[in-house]
Structure 1
Amino acid sequence: MRAFYLEHPDTFSVEATVLDRRGDAVLLDRSPFFPGGGGQLADRGTLTWAGGRLGFAGVEVDAHGAWHRFAGTGEPRGTVLLEVDAGFRRLMSELHTLAHVLNALVYTQHGGVLLTGAQLSADGSFRVDFDLPGADGAALRKLEGSMNDVVRQDLAVTAGYLPRAEAESILGMFRSRSVAPPPSPDGLVRVVEIAGLDRQACGGTHLASTGRARLARILKIDNKGRHNRRIKVGVGEA
């Protein structure tokens, strides 16, 4: 079974059944919560049942499944209502979409350079690190205009799946030097495509098109070691 938040990206409220409990965590038969990963923060939200309401605090995965941790006291049981903070999810999807746009521009303009790190932030900013020794800061700042051109073009953002071996055979499908999204339970790799611009493996959430993002600003460019160049980008008030 593929992740609910990927198959139903616009569903932020679902009923689920508590299968088991341990400490501050419950095992559920389904969940709309994105657990975090790949630089994207975990969803925010709540679990409500007859005995009260708790805030979502994270996910721990083991052989039994995904244990959802909740902050507060209480023992959820039976049927529960899970509600994702839709505004926060949208922010993460917006930042992740813009990060793909920036990654695509750097990748094509700098000879297939790889990511060395990425992080989305709750303040409406994100940073991406690239292996770009000697890159000119002024030239990198010009990417702001190119990013916003892509936003204005309102390119469709879609997702599909490929067998792992096939994905690995495609140049540029995996953009990080050190990590890669794990395959789904059926052995397939999720691929996110921005029409006419980019195609890469990714397990995060995104907007349906680039035009749904706000215009972006490059806030800062730093040298992080001999090779890494960090580009920090903000939207809104960030």
Structure 2
Amino acid sequence: MHLLCQGAPQVLELEADVLDTRPGAVLLAQTPVFPGGGGQLPDRASIQWSKGEADIRVVKSDERGWWHEFDGEAEISGPVHVSVNAAFRRLMCELHTLAHVTNSVVFQNFGGALLTGAQLSADGTFRIDFDLTGSEADRLRALADPINDVIRQDLPIRTYQMRWDEANSVPGLFRSKSVSPPRQADGNVRIVEIGDLDRQACGGTHLGSTAQTRPVRILKVDNKGRQNRRIKVGFVD
């Protein structure tokens, strides 16, 4: 099942009938909520029904649809209204887009260095880890200029589906050192493409172009092991 946030990211509200229910959770056929994953935080969202409203804590899939677990133990029947916090979604889109730009700049300038971890944060920063030695720390601290140059170029961002086996055979589409993107039920994997700069497998949410992000600065470069360098990135004040 494809998420609405992947195929129709403009949809932030949804009216839906309940397919199944249990105390504190309802099953819906579709959801506008990004459930989290790949270093991106889950959307902040709420659910409303005829007798109340609650914050959604977790969204999980099963073969029938998407379970929405919410605060409290109410058992809901009838139609519900799901609403995603637009400001938080936009922040995650911005950070995830910037993380891809950073990943691409490092991949192209550091001999195809692979990703070893990433995490977006609600405070407007993100950290991204690479399989690199300590000798590269000074070069990593100078990454703000090439990243901000990509932002200024206003490169378009688009997504599309590709057969997983085909994508796995293309160098650079799978960037993680140890984890491959999951194969979808239809045998595909989602690809995010940034102009002619970059394309890689990803299930997260993104902006429409690089110019929609704010300029960044490198906040810190850490050694996290003999072959692991962590870059922390934030917005220019």
Amino acid at match of 2:108: T
- C-alpha offsets along residues 143-179 of structure 1, whole Å, 9 cap, x if unaligned? 1011111111110010011111110110011001122
Q: Where do 1:45-56 residues align within 5 Å?
A: 45-56=45-56
Question: Which residue is equivalent to 2:43?
Answer: 43
Tell me the residue number matched to 2:145: 145
Which secondary structure state, in structure 1, belongs to the residue aligned with residue 135 of structure 2? coil
Structure 2 residue aligned with 1:71: 71
Distance 1:66 1:133 in 2: 42
Q: What root-mean-square deviation, in Å, do the aligned CA atoms of Structure 1 and Structure 2 show?
A: 1.3
Q: TM-score, normalised by structure 2?
A: 0.96
Residue aligned with 1:116, SS: strand
Structure 1, gaps ≥5 residues long: none
Q: Which residue of 2 aligns with 1:57?
A: 57
The answer (yes or no) to whether the contact 1:116–1:131 under 8 Å persists in 2 is yes
Tell me how far 1:68 sits from its aligned partner: 1.1
Q: CA shift at 1:182, angstroms?
A: 1.9
How many angstroms apart in 1 are the aligned matches of 2:185 and 2:3? Answer: 10
Answer yes or no: is the 8 Å Cα contact 2:23–2:73 preserved in 1.
no
Q: Which residue in the other structure is 2:85 paired with?
A: 85
Report deviation, 1:93: 0.5
Hey, what does 1:235 align to over in structure 2?
Answer: 235
* TM-score calculated relative to the size of structure 1: 0.95
Give the corresponding residue for 2:163.
163
| Structure-2 change in CA distance of 1:87 and 1:73 (3 Å) | same
Letter in 2 for 1:163: R
Match of 1:196 in 2: 196
Residue identity opposite 2:150 in structure 1: V
CA deviations on 1:101-159 (whole Å, 9 max, x unpaired) are 00000001111111110000000000000010133322111110111111111100100
Q: 2:11, 2:135 → 1: CA distance?
A: 42
Aligned counterparts of 1:16 and 1:177: Cα–Cα separation in 2: 40
1:180 and 1:34 mapped to 2: Cα distance? 20
| Inter-partner Cα distance in structure 2 for 1:7 and 1:77 | 28
How far is 1:65 from its partner? 3.8
Report the counterpart of residue 131 of structure 2 in structure 1.
131
Q: Which moved more, 1:11-20 or 1:73-82?
A: 73-82
2:158 match: secondary structure: strand
Deviations 1:11-70 (A, max 9, x none): 111111111112322111211000000000000011011111010101233444431111
In structure 2, C-alpha distance between the alignment counterparts of 1:115 and 1:135, rounded to whole Å: 17
CA distance in 2, matches of 1:164, 1:192: 14
How far the C-alpha of 1:73 sits from its partner, in A, is 4.2
**Distance in structure 2 (CA, Å) of the matches to 1:124 and 1:134:** 26
Secondary structure of the structure 2 residue equivalent to 1:108: helix
Contact 2:29-2:65 within 8 A present in 1 as well: no
**Identical aligned residues as a percent:** 55
Residue in 2 aligned with 1:104?
Answer: 104
Query: Unmatched 5+ residue regions in structure 2?
Result: none
* Paired letter, 1:197: L
1:26 aligns with 2:26: yes
Assess if the C-alpha contact under 8 Å between 2:30 and 2:66 holds in 1. no
Mapped partners of 1:236, 1:179: distance in 2: 32
